[in-house]
Structures are given as structure tokens and as C-alpha cells.
């Protein structure tokens, strides 16, 4: 039986997120088909939050699992909460929407529920997810995260995503977004490796979001 609607947290934009979610990351040694099977089993067991990322290289398999469970009547699209992540090589503003659209295509979805900037580190755009130079050092890219955030806001306005947030940001990086002139939407979360931190609707709750 699925968790009830009471097992959700209301984010600062009014949307709610299930407190229990399935992380879809797996080592490369694990067959991608295992991710599809795990997602199906999780949905059957009552999980409604599926946490994925472009970096995990299994969006298609996870999407197939979601579509299968919708098709067999286990869930409706509205009952599934999907979190996707913008990878570091797509931080340039003009690349944000194409990256999200690729994720949507992989998942066979018209929208996702939450899209977050995976990390504040920007990498050189290209086919390599982690571009390296001749000295085996990561090739970074100079991108103002405020511009990246503005592109995220446009994706929300376009109806491609319901909520937007960040991940692995420190206080300075988060404040840079929050103090951005013309800020339209505050991040709904700052996701970390060990926990998911929703940003409350009331500033007095002790959050920067």
C-alpha cells in the first residue's frame, strides 16, 4: 500500500514532495536492467518519489519502469514524483532547457516534478560528462550560477518542471541565488548526499530558502 498523502512535505512553492524516495544511482557494474526492475518493485511497494539524474545514465530504464507501472494501473502519472538533475556540463543558460528536454525524452514524460542543479561546479560542455585535460584534471567552465538559475526559472514557466532547486550548495552559493536581482522563484531544496532538505515556506523556520 502506498504511503498516504500525509507522508509528504510542503515546499516553499506550495507543491508537496513524498518524504520517502527511491534513489536510482547504481555502479556501472550493475546492469541497467536492474535499475528498471528496482524501480518497478519500489513503485509496487508504495514508493512514489523516484530520484534520478542524467549522470546516472539510466534515465531510459527508469522511465520504462514508470511507464510500465502507469500502463498496468499501479499508479497514475500524478501520483509519481520524479526528481531530475541538471549535470555540470549543462550549466550554460542556453543548455539548461535542452538538457531538461533530453531527460524528459528519456523518461517519456511531459514534465518532471522537481529539477535541481546537481552540483554548483561547472564543467566544459561536451559529450564527456567529466571532461579531463592532458594532466588528468577536470576542465571547468566559467558560468554564473545566477544565469543558470534564471534558465531553470524559464523551464518552470514553460511547464516542463513544477519545482526547481539545488544540490550540494554551500551557504555562499545559495545566498548568491537568493540575493539575485529579479529572482522569480526561490530554490525549494538543497539536496545533499545524506539528506534531502526541503526549504520551508516560512523564513522563520531557519532556512535560507
- Would you please indicate which residues are annotated as catalytic (active-site) residues? 56
> Bridge-partner residues for 142, per DSSP?
none
Q: Distance (Å, rounded) from C-alpha 150 to C-alpha 154?
A: 6
Q: How much of the chain is helix, strand and coil, in % rounded to 5?
A: 35, 20, 45
Burial class (CB in 10 A: 0-12, 13-18, 19+), 32: middle
63 three-state secondary structure = helix
Q: Distance (Å, rounded) from C-alpha 117 to C-alpha 177?
A: 12
Residue-wise over 1-31: b if at least 16 C-beta within 10 A, else e? eeeeeeebeebbbeebbbeebbebebeeeee
Q: Distance (Å, rounded) from C-alpha 187 to C-alpha 34?
A: 32
Amino acid at each position: 500500500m502506498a504511503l498516504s498523502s500525509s507522508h509528504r512535505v510542503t515546499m516553499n512553492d506550495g507543491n508537496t514532495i513524498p518524504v520517502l524516495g527511491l534513489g536510482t544511482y547504481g555502479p556501472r557494474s550493475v546492469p541497467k536492467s536492474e535499475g528498471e526492475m528496482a524501480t518497478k518493485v519500489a513503485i509496487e511497494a508504495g514508493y512514489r518519489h523516484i530520484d534520478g539524474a542524467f549522470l546516472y545514465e539510466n534515465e531510459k530504464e527508469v522511465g520504462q519502469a514508470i511507464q510500465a507501472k502507469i500502463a498496468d494501473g499501479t499508479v497514475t502519472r500524478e501520483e509519481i514524483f520524479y526528481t531530475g538533475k541538471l549535470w555540470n556540463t549543462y550549466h550554460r543558460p542556453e543548455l539548461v532547457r535542452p538538457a531538461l528536454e533530453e531527460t524528459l525524452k528519456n523518461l517519456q514524460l511531459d514534465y518532471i516534478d522537481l529539477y535541481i542543479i546537481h552540483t554548483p561546479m561547472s564543467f566544459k560542455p561536451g559529450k564527456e560528462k567529466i571532461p579531463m585535460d592532458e594532466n588528468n584534471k577536470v576542465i571547468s567552465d566559467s558560468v554564473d550560477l545566477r544565469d543558470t538559475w534564471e534558465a531553470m526559472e524559464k523551464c518552470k514557466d514553460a511547464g516542463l518542471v513544477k519545482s526547481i532547486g539545488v544540490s550540494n550548495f554551500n551557504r555562499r552559493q545559495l545566498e548568491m541565488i537568493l540575493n539575485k536581482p529579479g529572482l522569480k522563484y526561490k530554490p525549494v531544496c538543497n539536496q545533499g548526499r545524506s539528506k534531502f532538505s526541503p526549504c520551508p515556506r516560512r523564513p522563520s523556520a531557519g532556512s535560507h530558502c
